[in-house]
Amino acid sequence: MSEQKKHSAGERFRRWLNQDTDILEQQMIAAQMKAPAEVDPEEVEWRRQRLEEEAQEEQAVARRLEAFNEQKVPETSRFLYCCICVCICLAMIGMLLYTVTMLPKFAAEWDPTINEVPQRYIEKGLQETGAVNIVTGMILDYRAFDTLGESTVLFSAVMVVLLLLRMDAESDKYSTLAAAMRSMPHTDTFYEPKHDTILQHTAKILFPIAVLLGIYVVLNGHLSPGGGFSGGAIIGAGLVLHVTAFGFQDIRRFFTYKTYQRIVSAALLTYAVSKTYSFYTGANHLESGIPLGTPGAILSSGLILVLNICVGFIVACTVYVLYAVFRKGEV
């Protein structure tokens, strides 16, 4: 490190261009030097044994698969089965392609989808929902029930994944599978922590940008293209990048399973309760009393801003939690 400091920035850049040095080289070496020091020999031995066991297990599975494949299935019937599969698929593809050629031309004058429905969305959308972005007005006001359903789909997806894949010490008692998974070398629990300097440097720069961009897209959902779903996905991608670079220890300082539960339940409850109010007033022909504000201002378009933020939170947490649970079995 001390040697590098002597050169000016320009000189270092020139040397890097000439491939004389790698600016990250020193840190990479330092990280690699550090990594083995953390592991004690007993653990190395244990890991070696586990790897061997796993290799044996894999071989056993391969043998069983081979035995299964060699079972007496007549060659002709297998061939026939494949033929029928291919034929059915081809028939489906052919049928669907043929149908597509029959459909009305997109955006042609006689296209049935150009009717009073999009007409009202486009002409009166701004006036009725207060959202400059018509798409947001459509999904969060005209058809808000569908979007509530979609948010619930994300919630259900996370719940199912957690039901299946979340593993804690208690799981071992109930499922032999969980116990096996927790000690398997190929799971992430085994290989962490990782020391990838390039990834860490990139993440350091990109993580704040991704989160800020995501927040911007969510908050401006009613004004410009974007909204809760896209913004939430960007924030979620930022979180995934962060955890890939710095590991779970680091991200757990601000994002744990508790955080997920609090954020998502608060967001979905806000969404559901505010929509209960708006469905109730709508169906009973009451004034909702929520001001639409000045179109184009950030605080406008009534509930849409709030709902966008809720959806953003749900999507971001969903993306991250799905990644974490698939990778590690816990959040």
Partner 1 sequence: MTLVQNFPAFSILLTIICAVITSVLKRKSASVLTTLVIFVNLVMNFMVMIYTIRTGESYVYMMGHFPAPWGNEIRAGIFETVTMTVLLFVILFSYLGGYRWSAARIEPSKYNLYCVMVELSMLALLALIYTNDLFTAYVFIEISTLAAAGLVMAKQNGRSLVAGVRYMIMNLVGSSLFLLGVVILYTITGHLLMVPIHDAVAQLAETQEYRIPLDVTVALISVGLGMKSALYPFEKWVPGAYSNTTPTSSAMLSSIVSKGYIFLLIKIYIRVIGLPVIDMLGITDVMFVFGAAGMIMGSVNAIRAKTTRMMIAYSSVAQIGYIFFAIGLGTADGLMVALWHLIAHAATKSMLFISCAELNDASGNTHMRTALKGAFYRSPLAAAVFSLGAVNLVGLPLLSVFVTKFMMGQAAVALGGRHMVITLICLAVSTLLNLGYFMNTTVSFFVRDEASYTVHTPARLTKFSLIGFIALNLILGLCAAPIYEILLTGLSRFA
Beta carbon of residue 1, minimum distance to partner 1 (angstroms, whole number): 48
> What sign results for the dihedral spanned by CA atoms 290, 293, 295, 296?
negative
Beta carbon of residue 100, minimum distance to partner 1 (angstroms, whole number): 9
What's the rounded Cα separation, in Å, for the pair 251 and 265? 20
Q: At what angle do helices 257-283 and 144-165 cross, to 10 degrees?
A: 150
What's the rounded Cα separation, in Å, for the pair 306 and 218? 10
Which of 154, 155, 131 lies closest to 143 in space, CA to CA?
131
- Residue 46 vs 279, nearer CB to partner 1: 279
- Residue 137 vs 231, nearer CB to partner 1: 137
Work out the number of other CB atoms within 10 angstroms of the CB of residue 116: 8
Q: Where are the alpha helices (DSSP H) in 130-196?
A: 134-137, 144-165, 169-174, 176-183, 188-191
Beta carbon of residue 238, minimum distance to partner 1 (angstroms, whole number): 25
- Residue 6 vs 285, nearer CB to partner 1: 285
- Residue 32 vs 175, nearer CB to partner 1: 175
Q: How many residues does the chain have?
A: 331
The residue to which tokens 């698939």 are assigned? 326
On whether the CB atoms of residues 210 and 235 are closer than 8 A, the answer is yes
On whether the CB atoms of residues 16 and 23 are closer than 8 A, the answer is yes
Beta carbon of residue 284, minimum distance to partner 1 (angstroms, whole number): 5
Beta carbon of residue 330, minimum distance to partner 1 (angstroms, whole number): 11
Beta carbon of residue 296, minimum distance to partner 1 (angstroms, whole number): 22
- Residue 9 vs 110, nearer CB to partner 1: 110
Beta carbon of residue 214, minimum distance to partner 1 (angstroms, whole number): 23
Give residues with Cβ within 8 angstroms of 178, minimum separation 6.
167, 171, 172, 329
CA distances to 24, 29, 245 from 16, rounded to whole Å, are: 10, 17, 24
List residues near partner 1 by CB under 8 A.
95-96, 98-99, 102-104, 111-117, 120-121, 128, 141-146, 148-150, 152-153, 155-157, 159-160, 162-164, 166, 168, 170-171, 173-175, 177-178, 261-262, 264-265, 268-269, 272-273, 275-276, 278-285, 288
- Residue 6 vs 173, nearer CB to partner 1: 173
- Residue 34 vs 120, nearer CB to partner 1: 120
